[in-house]
Structure 1
Amino acid sequence: MSDNFSSAHPQRLLDQVRDVLRVKHYSYQTEKSYLLWIRRYIHFHHRRNSRNIGGSEINAFLTYLAVEEKVAASTQNQALSALLFLYREVLHLELDLNLDAVRAKRSRYLPTVLTPEEVKAVILHLSGVHRLVVQLLYGSGLRLAEAQQLRVKDVDFAQRQLAIRNSKGMESRLTMLPETLVEPLQEHLLWVKRQHQQDLEQGYGSVYLPFALERKYPRADREWIWQFVFPAERRSQDPDSGITRRHWVHESGLQRAIKQAVQQAGITKRVSCHTFRHSFATHLLQNGYDIRTVQELLGHKDVKTTMIYTHVLQKGARAIKSPLDT
C-alpha cells in the first residue's frame, strides 16, 4: 500500500482509505466525513509526500481550522480522528504526535427539547411516512440513521419492541415500540410489501445487506424480512455494486417536512430530527424513569452522555425560582 500523497494519484489514496473504512465496518456517514477531512488535509499541504508530513503538519492543520475556520471543538476532533485513521490504519505510520495546536473552544452544549404538547403539534402537521418516522424518533428514541436503516425483521409487534442493530459504535440494543404505532406501522408495511412485490415482478427487489451477507446468503437481499421499513420512493443505482435497488428514505425530504411542520405549529425553537430523540430522553426522566434505563434505551455507552438531559431538567422554574417571582 503506497504511503504517499502522490500528486498524480490523490484519488488512489482516498480509495484506499474508503476500502479500509469498509473492511472495519465504519458507518457511511463516518466514511463521508473522514474522506472529506483527509481530502482537505491533502490539499492544505499541497499534496506533499506523506514521508515528510507528520505531527507538526497535523498541528498546523488543526490550528488553521480553529483560528481561520473557527470550527467547533467537536468538528476539530473529528478532523483529528480522520487523520489518525489515515496514518495508523491506512498508511501504517506511527506518529510522534504532541498536540500543541490551537484548540477550538468547547462550548457547553444543551440540546433543544420540545414539550410534549409541542411534539404533538409538530406531528399533527406531518403526514404519511414523515409522520411515522418522527413518531418513532420520539416514541422509541431512535437516531435518524437508525430509523432509516430499520428492517422488517427488526420490528417485533408481538413483544412491542424494536431491535436496533449495528448502530453508532457498532452497538445493538432493544427499545420499545409504542402501542399507538402498532396499527399504523402494520398498515404501512402492507403498502411496502406490495411495492416490494412489484419490484420483484419487474426484476428488481434487491436490498443492500451489510458485512458481506450477500455472499453468505445469496438470495437474502430479495427476501421480505431484509427490506427497509422506510424504503426510498424511487429505485437508484448502488454506486458500489452497480445494482439498481431501493435504498432507505432520504433525510432531506424528512428535514424539509419537519421544518415546515414546526413553522405551521408556531414553534420558535430550532428543531431538527435529533430534537425528537432529545425530547424522548428528557420526557422519560421527567416521568420518573431512572437514568440507567434511559441510557440503555438510547444506546449510550457512558452514562455521562445521558447526564446532559438532567441538566436540561434543572433549567428554569423547575429548579430555581426567579427573584422577580418572589
Structure 2
Amino acid sequence: MPKNEADVKFIITLRFSKWDKQNYCWIIPHYPGNLEMIQNYFGKRLTQVTVHELLEVKNKEHNYTIQKNEVLVFQTKAKRLKLIFGYIPELSKAIKKIPFHTWDSKNKWWSVPYSEQFLQEIKRKIEELKLTLRYEIEPDPDNRVMRVTPYDIPNYRNCPDEYRMKLIELRYSKNTIKLYTGLFEEFINYYPTFDIHTIDETQIIQFLRFLVTERKISTTYQNQSINAIKFYYERVLGGQRKFYFIDRPKKEKTLPSVLSTEEVLATLKVTTNVKHRAILMTIYSAGLRISEAVNLKIKDIDSHRMQIRVQQSKGKKDRYTLLSHKTLTILRTYFQEYKPKEWLFEGQQAGEPYTARSIQAIFGAAVQKAGITKKVSVHTLRHSFATHLLENGTDLRYIQSLLGHENSKTTEIYTHITTKGFDQIKSPLDTLDI
C-alpha cells in the first residue's frame, strides 16, 4: 500500500503485525476477525484478496505442501512428532496440552514427543475437527557417513594412555571410560596426520560440524563428543577451560517406551530358560539398569528384608530396591540349578559376570517371540517398572528412591506416560449446581 500515516497506525493496531523490509510489505497474522477489519477499513481501496489453499513449508531438508484442511504429522528418528498445518487455533490449543510441546518459529511447525498415546490423541482431534491427516515417517538417511574404524585408515591412532589413565584416576565408570575413549579416538583420527597437541579450536569446531552435517549424529552424541574433547585439553593437559563457538544442541525431550503389564507377562512366559527368566524378572521387578543387573553379587540379595542392594551405580551411588517374592522364588530355583559362586548371574567363563550383550539378546528374542512390535530395549523394563508402580498408586518420591534418581524431575517423566485414573477425576464444574 502507499505510505500513509493513518493506514500505518491502523495496521499497527492489529496484533503481531510487522513490516517486512526485504519484500516491502506488511505481514499480519490471519487471526479471527483480522481480514474482516482490513476489508472494512480499506473498503474500495482494497483491490484484491487472494486466498492460498496450499501451505508451503520449506527448510534445508524438506519441502512440504499442505492443503488448507490438511495436517501433516511427521515422525522423526529423534522420537518426536512434527505437526505442520495452517491456522487452526483449536488444534494448536490441543497440542499445547501435550507435555514437552515446542513451537519452531523458524520452520513454522509444532513438535511433541512421540508416543502412541499422544499420536492417538492428535488423530482424534484431527478427526473431530474434520481435517485430513497425512502421516509420514522419517526414513533412515542413506548418505550418512559411518564412524571410522581401525580397518578404514592406515595407522589408525588409539586413544592416548594418559587420557585413559586420567579417567581411571578420577574414578570414572567403565562405561564412561569406554564411551569417552571411543569418542576421542574418532576425533583424533579425523585428523590422522596432525599431532594431537597442534589441533586448534578451528579444527575442533570443524570436526563437530562434520558430526552434525555428515555423520548426522544425535544431540546426545554431539554433547558427549564435546565433553570427550574438552576432557583431554582441559583435564589431561591441564589447560584452561575453553568455550568452543558452536551451539550445544538442546536435547529434545522424548518419552520412553513402556510395556503394558500384559506385554511384560507375555515376554516372561515365552522365556522358558530358568536363568534367562530369572534375569529378566530381576530387572523388571527391581527397576534395574542392565549394568546394575550384570554387577549384582549373591551377597546383594537380602531375603530377610526383601531388598536388593545396588552398589556404586550411576553417579557412584548405592541404593536399595525391591526384592519381589516371585523373583526370590525363581532366584532360588536358578541358584540350585546353576550354583553361581560370586556374581548372581555368571557368564560362560567361570568367575565372570554375565554380559550386557547376552541379556540384550535374551530380551530381544523374548520380545520377538511374544509378538511385540514396539521398539523396546532391556531398559524398557526399568521404565515399565516405574510406570506400573505409579499406576498402582506408589508415591513418586518412593519411585525416585527405588530408581536412584538424584533429581525428582527425572522421575516425573513417568507422570506423562500413564493416564490411568483420569476417568476417575471429576471436573470441578461437575460439583456446581447449575
Q: Bin the TM-score by the shorter chain.
A: 0.7 to 0.9
Alignment of 1:307-318 (within 5 A): 307-314=412-419
The correspondence for 1:123, drawn from 260, 268, 290, is 268
1:43 is matched with: 189
Distance in 2, Cα, partners of 1:133 & 1:269: 21
CA positional deviation for 1:21: 1.7
CA contact (8 A) 1:152 1:228 kept: yes
2:287 matches 1:138: no
Q: Could you tell me which of 240, 259, 273 is aligned with 2:364?
A: 259
Q: Partners in 1 of 2:212 and 2:232 — Cα distance?
A: 21
Residue from 298, 312, 317 that aligns with 2:403: 298
Counterpart of 2:246, as a letter, is D
After superposition, residues 81-100 of structure 1 pair within 5 angstroms as 81-100=227-246
Change (3 A) 1:319 1:114: farther
Aligned AA (2:398)? T
Give 1:43 deviation, angstroms.
1.1
For 2:223 and 2:265, locate their aligned partners in 1 and report how far apart those are by CA, in whole Å: 36
Relative to structure 1, the CA distance from residue 9 to residue 284 in structure 2 (aligned partners, 3 Å threshold; closer, same or farther) is: closer
1:54 Cα deviation after fit? 4.1
One of 303, 312, 320 as aligned partner of 1:174: 320
Instruction: Determine the C-alpha separation between the residues in 1 that align with 2:338 and 2:277.
Output: 16
Q: Does 1:18 align with 2:155?
A: no
Query: In structure 2, which of residues 349, 366, 380 is the aligned counterpart of residue 234 of structure 1?
Result: 349
1:276 alignment partner, one of 378, 381, 385: 381
Cα distance in 2, alignment partners of residues 26 and 312 from structure 1: 32
Q: Relative to structure 1, is the Cα distance of residues 47 and 30 closer, same or farther in structure 2, using a 3 angstrom cutoff?
A: farther
Q: Distance in 2 between matches of 1:254 and 1:42?
A: 33
- For 1:83 and 1:173, locate their aligned partners in 2 and report how far apart those are by CA, in whole Å: 32
**Bigger strand fraction:** 2
Shift of 1:136: 1.3
Aligned equivalents of 1:79, 1:138: Cα separation in 2:
32
Of all paired residues, the percent bearing the same amino acid is 36
Task: Give 1:33's aligned residue.
Answer: 179
CA shift digits 1:70-95 (9 cap, x unpaired): 11111111111211222222221224
CA drift of 1:67 comes to: 1.4
Distance change in 2, residues 1:279/1:9 (3 Å): closer
State the alpha-carbon separation in 1 of the partners of residues 241 and 306 from structure 2.
50
Alpha-carbon distance between aligned partners in 1 of 2:254 and 2:291, rounded to the nearest angstrom: 22
Instruction: Give the unaligned 5+ runs of structure 2.
Output: 1-153, 426-434
Q: Say which SS state the counterpart of residue 249 (structure 1) adopts.
A: coil
Deviation at 1:52, TM superposition (A): 2.9
**Partner Cα separation in structure 2 for residue 309 and residue 155 of structure 1:** 27
Q: For structure 1, which segment, 251-260 or 261-270, has the greater mean C-alpha deviation from structure 2 after superposition?
A: 251-260
Change (3 A) 1:189 1:74: same
CA contact (8 A) 2:188 2:196 kept: no
1:132-162 C-alpha deviation (Å, 9 max, x unpaired): 1111111000000100000111110100001
Q: What residue in structure 1 maps to residue 29 of structure 2?
A: none
TM normalised by structure 2 equals 0.58
Distance verdict in 2 for CA 1:9–1:272, change over 3 Å = closer
How far is 1:104 from its partner? Answer: 4.9
Pick the aligned partner of 1:248 from 336, 353, 357.
Answer: 353
Within-5 A mapping of 1:48-197:
48-101=194-247, 103-104=248-249, 106-126=251-271, 127-193=273-339, 196=341
SS at match of 1:256: helix
Runs of 5+ in structure 1 lacking a partner? Answer: 1-6, 197-226, 236-245, 321-326
- SS of the counterpart of 2:315? helix
Q: How many residues are treated as equivalent by the alignment?
A: 271
TM-score by length of 1: 0.76
Structure number, greater radius of gyration: 2
> Partner of 1:220 in structure 2?
none
Structure whose residues are more often helix by fraction:
1
Q: Is the partner of 2:242 in helix, strand or coil?
A: coil
Question: Structure 1 residue 99: deviation in Å?
Answer: 3.4
Are the structure 2 counterparts of residues 318 and 232 from structure 1 closer, same or farther at C-alpha, using a change threshold of 3 Å?
A: farther
Classify 1:99/1:283 alpha carbon distance in 2 versus 1 (closer, same or farther; 3 Å).
Answer: farther
Q: Distance in 1 between matches of 2:377 and 2:424?
A: 26
Deviation at 1:191, TM superposition (A): 4.1
Distance 2:338 2:237 in 1: 44
Backbone CA RMSD of aligned residues:
2.6
Q: What stretches of structure 1 move > 6 A for 4+ residues in a row? A: 317-320
Q: Would the aligned equivalents of 2:259 and 2:381 in 1 still touch at CA under 8 Å? A: yes
Q: Is the 8 A contact 1:73 1:105 kept in 2?
A: yes
Q: Is the 8 A contact 1:143 1:274 kept in 2?
A: yes
> Does the 8 Å CA contact 2:205/2:245 hold for their aligned counterparts?
yes
Question: Which gives a bigger RCO, structure 1 or 2 (Cα 8 Å, sep 6+)?
Answer: 1
Deviation at 1:10, TM superposition (A): 4.6
Question: Partners of 2:338 and 2:377 in 1: how far apart?
Answer: 26
In 1: Cα distance, 2:416 partner to 2:312 partner: 29
